Amino acid sequence: MKQKKKERQEQLTQLIDETPFITDEALANKFGVSIQTIRLDRLELSIPELRERIKYVAEKQWDETVKALPLDEVIGEVVHLELDESAISLIDISSEHVFSRNQIARGHHLFAQANSLAVAVIDDELALTAQSDIRFTRPVKLHERVIAKAKVQGDDDKGHTIVDVTSYVDEEVVFHGRFHMYRSTD
């Protein structure tokens, strides 16, 4: 039995509040309706499109106390940031990110997203990567969305802050990096 419009719209609003960077396509699949129906629901509910939601969340989360890296220098869009705790960014893989012959993302884009997120999460005037151990677990393709999640783990024996960054496409891990970060307060 099909869900009633009002009920769907209530659930849609709640789901977007909980996951602001969910795509219209994912919403359409979840509710078993067309993408156009989702767009019409959003319009009727005055819910902005994905890009505007991402921008709003990033501006709301990004605090004036970020010291190590300005928002516009982070590769990808930051959608969550708790200094010295955790951060999340996303990047949509477009033609500028891939090899033309096979439509697979160039590794340096995934590394740059993860590394810049590791720098941004550090609450210090200066944060530099002292060492990294990275692993690509599967190729990322054109039009996939990569969500990188950074988690500060503590300090190593040299006093560097360890930041683990795992990148996902949907729920599949595509990249993992452990970054040892030099900070000026070390």
Residues 99 and 165 in one domain: yes
Structure tokens at 8: 């769907």
Residues 175 and 83 in one domain: yes
Q: Is the pLDDT of residue 61 over 60?
A: no
Facing residues of 135 across strands?
176
**Mean pLDDT calculated for residue range 75-87:** 87
Residues 43 and 61 in one domain: no
pLDDT value of residue 62: 54
Phi, psi of 59 (to 5 degrees): -65, -35
- Could you list the residue range(s) of the whole structural domain that residue 16 is in? 5-47
Number of domains making up the chain: 2
Residues 29 and 98 in one domain: no
Looking only at Cα atoms, what is the longest distance across the chain? 61
Model confidence band, residue 119 (pLDDT cutoffs 50, 70, 90): very high
Phi, psi of 10 (to 5 degrees): -65, -45
**Mean pLDDT calculated for residue range 78-83:** 84
Residues 82 and 171 in one domain: yes
Residues 64 and 30 in one domain: no
Contacts of 154 (CB under 8 A, 6+ apart): 161, 162
Residue 24 is part of a domain; what is its CATH number? 1.10.10.10
Cα 61 to Cα 130: distance, rounded to the nearest angstrom:
27
Residues 37 and 105 in one domain: no
